[in-house]
């Protein structure tokens, strides 16, 4: 598939099947995310995979439009520094905790 075709045919799906996602599939998705370009190849982010149903339910409460996260088999959270934060460039757990 050509890149433009893939971009144009992309769609959101929020009706999930009751089954786990194979670890190999999650690894491939994470590898694609890891290869995402950034300015100067700084990659100022971390990815956190969540598959635990209780944690997914808590994560769904972080943002008003994230209710579907609680029904998912897995969610990948993107952790990025706050541009106004003095620790810019550091994706620490304290940055994530303040955003909750």
Count the helices and strands in the chain (H runs, E runs). Answer: 4, 2
pTM attached to this predicted model: 0.65
Per residue in 17-48, pLDDT tens? 888 999 999 999 989 888 888 788 777 888 89
Show the tokens assigned to 15: 């009706």
Please report the domains of the chain, with CATH numbers, ordered by start residue. Answer: 3-36+43-99 (3.40.109.10)
Report H helices in 1-100.
Answer: 3-9, 23-34, 53-59, 93-99
Per residue in 64-73, pLDDT tens? 999 999 999 9
For residue 87, what pLDDT band results from cuts at 50, 70 and 90? Answer: low
More confident: 40 or 99: 40
The SS3 of residue 22 is coil
Q: Are 20 and 51 in contact (CB under 8 A)?
A: yes
């Amino acid at each position: 598939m050509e890149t433009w075709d893939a971009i144009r045919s992309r769609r959101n799906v929020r009706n999930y099947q009751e089954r786990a996602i194979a670890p190999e599939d999650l690894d491939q998705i994470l590898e694609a995310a890891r290869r995402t370009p950034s300015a100067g190849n700084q990659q100022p982010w971390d990815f956190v995979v969540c598959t635990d149903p209780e944690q997914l339910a808590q994560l769904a409460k972080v943002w008003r439009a994230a209710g579907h996260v609680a029904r998912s088999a897995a969610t990948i959270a993107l952790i990025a520094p706050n541009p106004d934060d003095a620790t810019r460039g550091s994706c620490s757990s304290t940055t994530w905790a303040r955003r909750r």
